């Protein structure tokens, strides 16, 4: 049996939105460097440590057990990504 990904309404996404001021205070638990919000706003990414930490219901899970490794292609794409106007 395959599971369908959860589809959230706009209201629910807004409710669980990560506050930009909070993002400015957070750092990678491994490298202690700044984190980047993913384009879809579902992960905080550490380019230095090469980990993507999930955000669940507006709460960043900054533990290695919850993170996924990112490869060099993804890191390069993040480095070349234009700045987010938000």
pLDDT at 13 over 60: no
Cα angle: 6, vertex 11, 13; to 5 degrees: 50
pLDDT at 11 over 60: no
Question: Measured between alpha carbons, how far is 48 from 64 in angstroms, rounded to an integer?
Answer: 14
pLDDT at 14 over 70: no
Are the C-beta atoms of residues 37 and 44 closer than 8 Å to each other?
yes
Question: Tens of pLDDT along 36-84?
Answer: 999 898 999 999 999 999 999 888 999 999 999 999 999 998 888 887 6
For the chain, which residues make up each domain, given as ranges?
10-79
CATH architecture entry for 10-79: Single Sheet (2.20)
Question: Residue 39: left if φ>0, alpha if ψ -120 to 50, beta else—which one?
Answer: alpha
Task: Give the model's pLDDT for residue 4.
Answer: 52
């Amino acid at each position: 049996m395959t599971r369908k990904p959860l589809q959230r309404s706009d209201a629910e996404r807004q409710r669980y939105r990560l506050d930009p001021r909070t993002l400015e205070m957070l750092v990678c638990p491994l490298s202690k460097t700044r984190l980047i919000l993913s384009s879809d706003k579902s992960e905080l990414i550490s380019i230095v440590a090469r980990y993507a930490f999930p955000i669940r219901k507006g709460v960043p899970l900054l533990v290695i057990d919850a993170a996924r490794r990112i490869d060099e292609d993804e890191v390069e794409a993040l480095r070349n990504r234009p700045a987010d106007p938000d």
